[in-house]
Structure 1
Amino acid sequence: MGKKRLALWARLALGLLALIILLVSGFVIWGSTPARPMPEVYERVPGLNEVSPGERWLTFSPDGGPATVGLILYPGGRVDFRAYAPTAQAIADQGYFVALVRMPLNLAVFDPDAAAEVIAAHPEIEHWAVGGHSLGGAMAAHFAATHPGSVDGLVLWAAYPASSDDLSQSGARVVSISASLDGLSTPEKIAASRPLLPADTVWVTIEGGNHAQFGWYGPQSGDAPAAIPREAQQVQIVEATVELLESLK
């Protein structure tokens, strides 16, 4: 009887181990198959196809000389970070340094402190803002909340802090950019985050915009169709982001 029980427990243990391996493998595959950049991304930002798998972040610099204000951007959940390259380039063209961070398994929750590495690697930047889209924005808010004094500004694109990340007394300059037709970070969710952010937070709502058009990766499940072109939404995103960065000079 003892041997039979041992054999049964051994089979159960092996079955449980196989299940765990299957679940972990499935999660890794799920995280490793993000929304890909739209074809026009590679036309707007040449060279993205040559990005090596080991590059931790992409940098974008202005043509008119060295920048003193920088923005660190975290991508949305399960979105290839290159899908935000046109937006990063447009911001850099206005005179700012931008670092677009690659996340493990395309999920910023696995490396919310990535901004610290970027800051350490670029001591020439005098003032920093951290920001991101959706999950990336939430993790950027987490970094700002848990590293007081490391950044001067926070840029939220269709994003809001977790309830544990109260930034209301942080002193950081914050802009929250949302879209009226966002089916994921809905206007109601954005409004509910107000108590967690400073009283002087700038709130920008893009009328007719949606969640997916904060990047360049195509439609997204659960989102609502946009009523304005992606280019029109992007212009407003860049404009509001640059205004925040300008205030840090």
Structure 2
Amino acid sequence: MNLSPRKQIWLFGLLLLVAVLGLLGIRWATYARQPLPEAVKALESDDLVEVTQEPWLAFAPKHVAPHTGLIFYPGGRIDPRGYAPLMRAIASEGYLVVVPQMPLNIAALRPNIADEIIVGYPEMSRWVIGGHSVGGTMAAQYVYTHRDAIDGLAIWASYPADNADLSDSDLPVVSIYGSHDPRVNSASVTERQHLLPADARYVRIDGGDHHQFGSYEIDPRDHYATISRGLQHEQIIRATLGLLRAVSDTE
């Protein structure tokens, strides 16, 4: 088929446009907020914590053989490594911590990956599952459908979906949120308290926001916190360790 020069130019332009849109689509689909330098540093093993990145990002204490593990689902579009400083601190207290990579960095696309993690660590006698933002919602969903597999739930800046009512569960739960989080604030947490057990523990971090639940890049316009990242992390770690210790003490 012979095309005129004008049609050849038009066809080339169309193909180029399709290629550019395809590349932009791939970039959008695989986009994730990248870890900050301190998070990358926390991926290095030392005398206290062994860090591995295959098949999942995992932090294991070196000074003790852990019997309780934490499976943590990342927030949407967040690189799992962005939680490394917090997970490392938790692991250093004697717990295995596993943070899986989600398809397209969205936990909702693989909410049952905890099944594989539990099978992968048969030496663990107890499991707590948790997550940040949509990861926390998916963690609660997993508990709802796998009640016998999980011993505790830690949700960070999140809450269960309406179809994951855990109010009749005797599972230990901690819900941690920031007072300056425009997405998950005191009002939204209170509105959904009926979905969690009556004795669930709620930890409000005064001055904390949504993004300081990790250590990853954000748009400065999304920064609402009035406290430092380090101070917010200290409170998150303390509250999460409280749940892990409570679960471990029931062994």
**TM-score normalised by length of structure 1:** 0.85
CA 68–227 in structure 1, closer or farther in 2 if over 3 Å, else same: same
Does structure 1 conserve the Cα–Cα contact (< 8 Å) formed by 2:86 and 2:233? yes
Does structure 2 conserve the Cα–Cα contact (< 8 Å) formed by 1:181 and 1:224? no
Deviation at 1:40, TM superposition (A): 1.8
Within the candidate set 34, 38, 41, 2:32 is matched to 34
The aligned residue for residue 176 of structure 1 is 175
Q: Which moved more, 1:214-223 or 1:163-172?
A: 214-223
Deviation at 1:146, TM superposition (A): 0.8
Structure 1 segment 92-131 matched on structure 2, within 5 A: 92-131=91-130
The aligned residue for residue 9 of structure 2 is none
Structure 1 segment 25-174 matched on structure 2, within 5 A: 28-46=26-44, 55-174=54-173
Secondary structure at 1:248 match in 2: helix
For this pair of structures, how many residues does the alignment match?
227
- Using the aligned pairs only, state the percent identity: 42
Secondary structure at 2:94 match in 1: coil
AA at the equivalent of 2:205: I
Q: Distance in 2 between matches of 1:222 and 1:166?
A: 34
Does structure 1 conserve the Cα–Cα contact (< 8 Å) formed by 2:33 and 2:218? no
The aligned residue for residue 197 of structure 2 is 198
Q: How large is the Cα RMSD of the aligned pairs?
A: 2.3
AA at the equivalent of 1:42: V
The aligned residue for residue 209 of structure 1 is 208
Q: Distance in 2 between matches of 1:100 and 1:108?
A: 11
Q: Distance in 2 between matches of 1:227 and 1:43?
A: 25
Deviation at 1:57, TM superposition (A): 1.3
Deviation at 1:212, TM superposition (A): 0.3
Does structure 2 conserve the Cα–Cα contact (< 8 Å) formed by 1:68 and 1:96? yes
The aligned residue for residue 238 of structure 1 is 237
Q: Distance in 2 between matches of 1:120 and 1:88?
A: 21
Does structure 1 conserve the Cα–Cα contact (< 8 Å) formed by 2:40 and 2:81? no
AA at the equivalent of 2:30: S
Does structure 1 conserve the Cα–Cα contact (< 8 Å) formed by 2:57 and 2:80? no
AA at the equivalent of 1:176: S
Deviation at 1:22, TM superposition (A): 9.9
Which blocks of at least 5 consecutive residues in structure 2 are unaligned?
1-17, 46-50
Deviation at 1:172, TM superposition (A): 1.1
Deviation at 1:182, TM superposition (A): 0.5
Which blocks of at least 5 consecutive residues in structure 1 are unaligned?
1-18
Q: Distance in 1 between matches of 2:178 and 2:74?
A: 17
The aligned residue for residue 5 of structure 2 is none
Q: Which moved more, 1:142-151 or 1:24-33?
A: 24-33
Does structure 1 conserve the Cα–Cα contact (< 8 Å) formed by 2:52 and 2:58? no
Secondary structure at 1:87 match in 2: helix
Deviation at 1:219, TM superposition (A): 2.9
Secondary structure at 1:60 match in 2: strand
Q: Distance in 2 between matches of 1:72 and 1:178?
A: 19
CA 107–129 in structure 1, closer or farther in 2 if over 3 Å, else same: same
